[in-house]
Structure 1
């Protein structure tokens, strides 16, 4: 593995826990888990379909459509105001325990660190603020800037341009297998953050590196600080 100058990280499921939306659903749905799973899977599906059929919309808009489909599929009829309240949980998702310290370690080591996400800028701004990581990252980079979602190579190439780093000197860290593979395909070092929830999906290759804690990144990667 070559020397790494810049670290980029995914947001949802990597820095913040999307499973927290179940708590919001539990207030209005008798069995929130299948609705939450349907919502999440549809949301991801919509981003990939949008890439292929040139139907880009913001992640927030696609996430709203996915929630509506999940509610309809499970026979849950909610007024618009309650649907918006559930959607707004994405602005205040719980941050994983290792995130603040892990990012601070990278920052203190002189490593430029960015968030690269499908989330639109407003979502990322609220996520960063709520997580309290403003001082530990350089910036956020949104799919909205190139109107395409992961794992399309364009978002990773755009991230490299935005960071001013050769793409082969960037390590991209994500808990999502397709994001790791997308970054790797684009020329980055693909690092899987194994949060112990699901096994690696080996359908299209393996990650370049695996960590189970963001705090281990500064020791795991060969970085130029």
Structure 2
């Protein structure tokens, strides 16, 4: 289905890889691991996989703890000599990841155009609080909504439906903007419009349909909404 801007009254955003750059986490590994890139890649992959498995096994724990376990596994796979304290220091980078350049100005355009904006994330409340403060967008957001509130991770429909209820918006009047392909498909499955924020020019994953809209920045989403 093509993107329908006339249906949209509320915009929700993912957090990691959409507002802040998780690739910057590799920098936190650079002083402790000879080749940080494969460790960082495996860390992110396992972190996602753990959340998906947790949904099916009813084994929820806050995302920060999932991320901690994933980091430990990735370091163990590559036989990295990193202490528990050093792991915590690496993990703490998630509180201060680099913010994409278009984030504040792009969300500001949407707010000025009359759209309520929210963050909907797997991140637990403490992570979201620090991310929003670091990104300097707290004054632009109506609220943030965490998977911790329903103890269920994306792409489960329950989280998106909970987000719609929290915003007080009919779910089909929300467009969810995210860099995660599984997040796009999860939002669409739940009844939202899904916008893929493809900052890196990657091919779309050939599963579960297409995004309603693909953009390279939040400014392009604002353009599509006519603000």
How big is each residue's C-alpha offset from its partner over 1:88-127, in whole Å with a ceiling of 9 and x where there is no partner?
A: 0000000001101001101111210000000000000000
Match of 1:196?
Answer: 200
1:161 to 158, 165, 189: 165
1:126 to 123, 130, 138: 130
Partners of 1:186 and 1:221 in 2: CA distance: 21
Match of 1:13?
Answer: 17
Partners of 2:7 and 2:192 in 1: CA distance: 11
Structure 1 runs (4+) deviating above 2 angstroms are none
TM-score normalised to structure 1 length: 0.97
2:27 to 9, 14, 23: 23
Match of 1:38?
Answer: 42
Partners of 1:196 and 1:38 in 2: CA distance: 19
Partners of 1:167 and 1:106 in 2: CA distance: 18
Q: Does 1:141 align with 2:145?
A: yes
Give unmatched runs, 5+ long, in structure 2. Answer: none
2:78 to 74, 77, 87: 74
CA contact (8 A) 1:17 1:94 kept: yes
What is the CA RMSD across the aligned residues, in angstroms?
A: 1.1
Q: Does 1:180 align with 2:180?
A: no
TM-score normalised to structure 2 length: 0.96
Partners of 2:7 and 2:50 in 1: CA distance: 36
